[in-house]
Structure 1
Amino acid sequence: MTKETLSYKYAAKSSLTKEKGAENLLLSKFSEVEKGSAPCFYWGSLKHPFELSRCLITLSNIVQSSFNLSAFQLALLKDPIVTAGNEQLRFEGFSHCAGVYARVDVLENGHDGEFIESGTTNVDFNTPLIAELGKIKKNDELILSVGQQEVGFHKDGASFTERKVPLPSKWIKGLTTVQQYFSESDYGVTLTRIQAIQLFKTIPNGKVKTDYFLINRGRKYLFSPIKSTRAICIGGIHRLRLLQPLLPLITWLKIYPHKNMQSVTFILGFTELNFVFSISRDYWRGFSGEGAALEELIEDLPDALIRAFDTCAYTNQEFNPTLLSFEEPIAITKIDKFATKLSAMGLLGYDLEKNGFFYRRLPFKLERILSLNPRLKGAEKLLEEGKVTILVHSATKIEARVAGSGVFHYVVLNDDFQKCTCTWFSRNQGERGACKHILAVKKKVKNE
């Protein structure tokens, strides 16, 4: 774990208080990136407070859970992220091990309030707050404020609640990688509430180290260790138990498998509220080590274009890459690469229900996010030291030699096929993204 620390500064602790018969939920905010001056993102009432409170409790349980870290690492809390804008609220976070991602989407008709400022921020989720959320009943009224309720409350010299935590590098990398996995996932099946409850009863006890499969027998769905035709693969299936408290409240459950079965996503549908839950193929690996977006980060795109997009984009608005190609000087052939690179830089999220990206700027500096990819940094170092030699460069095939520590590695790129003789590639066979040697060769070829 990196020794670098990240300091969260909150104007006050998040709290839930009762006033004039209504519950007032104040979520204190913090972001490394301050694009506006308003100390409050959103203020208003939530139409389904009981369901939302249970979703936020589940999100908190996920953020505080781990499936492969030590007790010491588990004790280091990280705070969820809230994105407010375009008539939507999104709460998202990762487990400590970065193998479980969750997002709560409050849809356009799920609230009645004012977006004072659009943006994305960390919010303080403390133990007393979670305990109070558990007391919310079905008929309670809930007022939500992301930031200080009184706009203009902040003054110079104000005191802060500050917590220093190790920089959650796995968390940040996972937040960028999982968006690409979403974009590569396809709709699988929709279950009713009863079908979902019956399905989850078939989750085996204990920690499961082998793959399980979602199969259909007649009109009944179940999890089985035996693979069958069109079965959806689920690794680390014991992680799904985090969802069980929500199942009696849902209307439907949709499942989206990744095209290569490297992840699976469950969307729990409530009234005007969705809960998105995604798990990596292996519970011990997590999304942060996949490297799915590394090849997109080597794509050279104008910094001015990226800065212009970041400045002008509106939070939670759908990303329209084709329209952007007409408005900005970017080749239509690079549009898909542009969307994936923006996602890898923490500027886009992905909505499976709408089948498209949306603008969401993570509350971390761009240079911080880009510095968290050791394979990309390794590739750049190889190029700086002149260790990459192109041997063959034709229209269909590229062969290269990359100098290592007392050994040469050979890279072959042939249309969609790529191979390297290094240990990393031999061990992972490209399932966790390209090795630094392949990245270096591709970047050198692009720049020639």
Structure 2
Amino acid sequence: MSETITYHYAKPSTLIREATADELFLAKYSEVQKKDAPCFFWGRLKDPYITARCLITLSNVVQSSFNLSPFEWKLLKDPIVTAGNEKIRFEGFSHCAGVYARVDVLPGGHDGEFPENGTTNVDFNQAMIAALSSIGKTENVVLSVGKKEVALARGNEKVVERKVPLPTKWIKGLTTVQLFLAEAEKNFSFNKIQTLQLFQSLPNGKPKADYYLVMRGNKPAFSPIKSNAAICIGGIHRLRLLEPLLPLADELRVFAHPQMQSTTWQLYFGAVRFSLSLSRDFWRGFSGEGAALESLIEDVPDTWIDAVDKYSYANQEFNPTLLAIEEGMDFKKVDNLTGRLSAMGLLGFDLDENHFFYRRLPFKLHRIISLNPRLKDAEKLLAENKVEITLKSDSKIEARVEGTGVKHLVILEGENERCTCTWYSRHQGERGLCKHILAVKKKLIS
């Protein structure tokens, strides 16, 4: 007696012929079905005191603002909590979205179960902060993370925080900060004594000029004078958010973006880790940097995005290089997929493990355009036939893009991309491509 299993494929296999190469895509059957479980994690924290101090610092970050009015503060909420792959991650931004913080409770930091992976967004109100502040070093604390709430219990006391809407500004910030982190490199590692010495040199007040992390022999210091191998820090006063944790940390590692668009400061407490990422300047929020725009130019089939989302859900991590090798995909297309998943807030980045981790957020493809107005404006320019390619050679592209009462000149020459618009003049490409360069690049591949 034989058994027959019938698979239903969403689409047929296809052969795509292009000028440079042919690509064969074989249809697959996926057994990945996302479960709708009410609980993502339930268990005991092994070091509740350290975890509580880290969460209080995270809350301090979320309650901080370096360029917004008190009225605007009230429009934003508190931590994103993700449970999965034996880790619990708490994330948040300052109100201005220029500081990103994350608490990672690693496998050795808890003793519990993960019935299902998932993500929720809650508001840490005063009751939760008070409960965290009163946790001692020897207490038995149980944490639960669910679809609609996060709860902390010890003895007969239990504090519950309900789910709140995820701010749009945070999704935009998550897009940029993860891509910056993926490009960051570890520059320094300091022990407890070096870390405390370093922060003793933190300047008072709110310096407007850049400061630099420098080494003087074996001693690190902050200095207003740049030197070789120094790390540039804008808005250095934001590092004071770390001060309550410094006496408890075993190690500090400092990571910097190659173009110094961000710096990340990671403190280590055994199986608990605290990360603080600073934008280039205190007045610049990660939500407005546009780091993903380059990868969003080329269209990617929605079915690919859905497939990679399921792949990430099943594995709880996403390694673009490994995916490209295993699936025989072009690296540029994988970068485009990474950009799209990041643009929907589905990916975070772990610097120590050097790969993206998965957040289970509502899967909305239309979110890509709605959260990237420059990309939307570029598509509008193309739809209105306002982009004209005037020169196209192997080494140089020139185009005229019609603006309001003026035509902008766009020049693409190797890695150099220039435009005569005000955005490019002001930012020189540091905050992502302007809409005119985006429109020209999109026209070239259409």
Give me the TM-score of the superposition, normalised by structure 2. 0.86
> What is the aligned residue count?
404
State the partner residue of 1:86.
85
Q: Which runs of 5+ in 1 are unaligned?
A: 1-33, 151-159
For residues 401-420 of structure 1, what are the structure 2 equivalents within 5 Å?
A: 401-420=400-419
State the partner residue of 1:318.
317
Give the superposition deviation at 1:199: 1.0
State the partner residue of 2:284.
285
Matched to 2:113, the amino acid is: E
Task: Kindly indicate whether residue 427 of structure 2 is the aligned counterpart of residue 428 of structure 1.
Answer: yes
Give the superposition deviation at 1:200: 1.0
Q: Is the 8 A contact 1:315 1:360 kept in 2?
A: no
Task: Kindly indicate whether residue 300 of structure 2 is the aligned counterpart of residue 295 of structure 1.
Answer: no
Give the superposition deviation at 1:164: 7.8
Aligned to 2:286, the other structure's residue is in SS state: coil
Q: Tell me which moved more, 309-318 or 172-181.
A: 309-318
Matched to 1:183, the amino acid is: A
State the partner residue of 2:444.
445
Give the superposition deviation at 1:204: 1.3
Where relative contact order (Cα < 8 A, 6+ residues apart) is larger, the structure is 1
For residues 23-422 of structure 1, what are the structure 2 equivalents within 5 Å?
A: 36-147=35-146, 168-314=167-313, 317-325=316-324, 328=327, 330-363=329-362, 365-422=364-421
State the partner residue of 2:25.
none
User: How many Å separate the matches in 2 of 1:297 and 1:140?
Assistant: 48
Determine what percentage of the aligned residue pairs are the same residue.
64
User: How many Å separate the matches in 1 of 2:267 and 2:394?
Assistant: 47
Aligned to 2:334, the other structure's residue is in SS state: helix
User: How many Å separate the matches in 2 of 1:429 and 1:364?
Assistant: 33
User: How many Å separate the matches in 1 of 2:442 and 2:125?
Assistant: 44
User: How many Å separate the matches in 1 of 2:61 and 2:362?
Assistant: 20
Q: Is the 8 A contact 2:80 2:122 kept in 1?
A: yes
User: How many Å separate the matches in 1 of 2:287 and 2:48?
Assistant: 32
User: How many Å separate the matches in 2 of 1:163 and 1:369?
Assistant: 24
Q: Is the 8 A contact 1:48 1:110 kept in 2?
A: yes
Give the superposition deviation at 1:405: 1.1
Matched to 2:71, the amino acid is: F
Q: Tell me which moved more, 331-340 or 186-195.
A: 331-340
User: How many Å separate the matches in 1 of 2:332 and 2:236?
Assistant: 39
User: How many Å separate the matches in 2 of 1:309 and 1:164?
Assistant: 27
User: How many Å separate the matches in 2 of 1:128 and 1:162?
Assistant: 12
Q: 1:163 to 1:179 in 2, by over 3 A?
A: closer
Give the superposition deviation at 1:311: 2.6
Give the superposition deviation at 1:369: 4.9
Show CA shifts across 1:65-108 (max 9, x none): 10000111123341210111111111101001000000111111
Q: Is the 8 A contact 1:43 1:149 kept in 2?
A: no
Give the superposition deviation at 1:364: 6.9
Show CA shifts across 1:411-438 (max 9, x none): 1111101000111111111111110000
Cα RMSD (Å) of the superposition?
2.3
Q: Which runs of 5+ in 2 are unaligned?
A: 1-32, 150-159
Matched to 2:88, the amino acid is: L
Give the superposition deviation at 1:163: 8.8
User: How many Å separate the matches in 2 of 1:163 and 1:348?
Assistant: 20
Give the superposition deviation at 1:342: 2.5
Q: 1:426 to 1:438 in 2, by over 3 A?
A: same
Q: Is the 8 A contact 1:393 1:399 kept in 2?
A: yes
